[in-house]
Amino acid sequence: MCGRYTLSEAPEALRLQFQFDISLNIEPRYNIAPSQLAPVVINSQSRRKIFMFQWGLAAKGRPQEPLLNSLINARAESLLDRPSFKEAFLNRRCLIIADGFYEWKTEYRTKQPYRIHLKNNMPFAFAGIWEKSQADNSEAPQPNKFAIITTAAVYSISHIHNRMPFILKPGDYENWLNGDGLEVIKKSSTDSDMDLSFYKVSPELGNINNDSQELLKEYDPPQLAPVSYTHLTLPTKA
């Protein structure tokens, strides 16, 4: 799955790499979490444009469900089988720009977060789908929603988690936005392992209000003290 990610590259560099019309100020983010707003690239009037969408789709038939229950990920293997994803997959696909993502692994009875990124440290795009906002009784306009498509983890990070975001190859951006999305999904299943690196980061990542650049630093967990048996008293036979 994917429950947190980062985007800290300069806006102009992102514009040049992903070829979108820039119309908003993209602030560095180090802990993008579900229900928050994040930059999303869509095809609009035959041009790539970037907008701030909210992370998490409402389940079909439950548009007013709380954000905590929103659908933040969509499995690539079942996009056409899920009513909540099918129509968006066929008609509204997007690029979700990132330069890293986080996964948690249970180690010594605690959950240790890892940051995962390309070895060349370049930004990349998750495959995403999006939905238009549903009108409600509030006066303020509601943002459109998005979800990140996930797939089986590549071998190099499968010991951390068995799922990962679907990372698009640059040559597939146009086909994903405007062409045959199913073809992009099928082609990826035959691709070899991509060049990913990973390292441990601070458990402070768990606080969604913590969006500090310090979260990107490599974390060295405290060593567990060895158990001492010198003061144990063994039971004696009666």
Catalytic residue among 2, 27, 94, 214: 2
**2 catalytic residue (yes or no):** yes
Is 54 within 8 Å of 72 (Cβ atoms)? no
**94 catalytic residue (yes or no):** no
Catalytic residue among 9, 94, 103, 218: 103
* Catalytic sites, residue numbers: 2, 103
